[in-house]
Amino acid sequence: MIRGRLAILLLLTGLNLVNYIDRAVVAAVLTPMKAELGLSNLEAGILNTAFLIGYFLFCPLFGMRADKGPRKGLIALGVVIWSLATVASGLATGFWTLLAARVVVGVGEASYAVLAPTIIDDVTPADRKGTALSVFYLAIPIGYSLGYILGGALAQHWGWRAAFYAVGGPGVVLALSCLLIVEPPRKLLDAKAKLFDGLRVLAAIPLFRRAVLGYIAYTAAAAGFSFWAVDFLLRAYPNELNVETANRYFGMVLIVAGGIGIVVGGRYTNRVGRHHPIAPHHEYDSPVNKRAINSLLRICAIGMAVAAPVSAVGFFVPGATAFFVISFVVDVGLFASTAPVNAAFLRSVPVERRASAMAASILAIHLFGDLWSAAALGLLLDNLPLKIAMLALPLTFAWSAYIWRPRKREAEPSLPAEGSLPEARVHTST
């Protein structure tokens, strides 16, 4: 059995790594895949939408289910599903079969993305939560980087389908390992608690809403950038790069810059935890928590305020080397937000609703963010000059910075009055 905090963190981080390798592989092989299957830019962008439809539709269901019982079985089931669906992506014969496979990938991934952070939060001391979340989310830049590098190399030498075959297998082994996790005791919602009542409770919390709204804009822009960046490089600098080198260099920049951003954000999250100790669950809306959450959102706003103007310049530089240098700065700004915003989600709600909060945030950022952003940018690329179309991204980065900007004062009401919603009774469980 897996009981140790470090062992649980490493296992869940390993799963997160494979998760983001899979996400990046689609972008890494996008150009040859479009050519073989005859896809337009809009159709290619819709593949990302298909993944997210499955993803966000099942997030609230997994979140509410996990708030009422054990989580490890749900994680294992989800990872097996998305691993098999990733392999099926490599077997696609056209747009519609590939579309169906990507929907199923999203269904499987929903369980893991919602539940893993809540387990990490349960097993980690208050003053180390930022570090733990940093380690977990470090898998995002590393996974994306490996996805770009491996996907580009495999596509160059063995074809784009080989990339999906290589990525799908490891997830099954890691998924089965999740069944060995010993979950810590925690508060659970009563089994009769309703899904939409829970979402209404969360939507009544202003700081949670603001964190989510900023993350919607962030996710829309970041997803569009990650999905189309390599294709942009191959079109903007065809004499300097091929599918392997574009993915390799972009992945190398991402792994270093993303790692730096994650560490910076995690250290800041730790500092907030030390200066503003976590309140008991019934005082989640205390002044201490409000100050802490605003402090967490401040670093998010700073990161995006850096990323917005720098990325706008990057699309007009004359050479690939200059683009990679600018991408380094942008990636640091983007990933500095990752640990703080997720810590804000977990801290701005009652403790027994954390899985539902993660599920609600994921539902919102995908429904209103990256569900449509890759396809919308693809439509712009079909109808506008390449570099003009890409300017949609820095404008959206700037919008997220505006939403997350520091507030001098913010009134935070408590939950709706007793009787306005069904009471959520709690009990403890292992």
CATH number, domain of 68, equals: 1.20.1250.20
pLDDT of residue 421: 40
pLDDT of residue 191: 45
Is residue 49 packed enough to be buried (19+ CB in 10 Å), middle (13-18) or exposed (0-12)? Answer: buried
Q: What is the Cα–Cα distance from 172 to 156, expressed in whole angstroms?
A: 26
Q: Is residue 35 part of a domain?
A: yes
Q: Is residue 420 part of a domain?
A: no
pLDDT of residue 411: 43
- What domain range is 90 assigned to? 5-415
Distances (CA, A) of 344 to 30, 45, 113, 382, 394: 34, 30, 16, 38, 24
The structural domain count of the chain equals 1
Distances (CA, A) of 190 to 194, 198, 358, 428: 9, 12, 18, 10
pLDDT of residue 279: 56
Q: Is residue 422 part of a domain?
A: no
- Residue among 144, 119, 113 at smallest CA distance from 132: 119
Q: Is residue 425 part of a domain?
A: no
Q: Is residue 430 part of a domain?
A: no
Q: What is the Cα–Cα distance from 317 to 330, expressed in whole angstroms?
A: 14
DSSP assignment of 80-113 equals HHHHHHHHHHHT--SHHHHHHHHHHHHHHHHHHH
Q: Is residue 427 part of a domain?
A: no
pLDDT of residue 182: 67
pTM: 0.68
pLDDT of residue 199: 62
Produce one character per residue of 354-391: b if its CB has 16 or more CB atoms within 10 Å, e if not: bbbbbbbbbbbbbbbbbbbbbbbbbbbbeeeeeeebbe
The secondary structure of residue 181, as a DSSP letter, is B
- Residue among 360, 362, 396, 363 at smallest CA distance from 377: 396
Q: Is residue 150 part of a domain?
A: yes
The secondary structure of residue 186, as a DSSP letter, is E
- Residue among 120, 130, 119 at smallest CA distance from 295: 130
Q: What is the mean pLDDT of each run of 10 residues along the chain (430 residues)?
A: 76 82 83 86 82 74 66 79 86 89 82 74 71 77 84 85 83 75 58 54 76 91 87 90 87 88 84 69 62 86 92 91 93 88 80 71 80 86 90 92 76 42 42
Q: What is the Cα–Cα distance from 75 to 13, expressed in whole angstroms?
A: 13
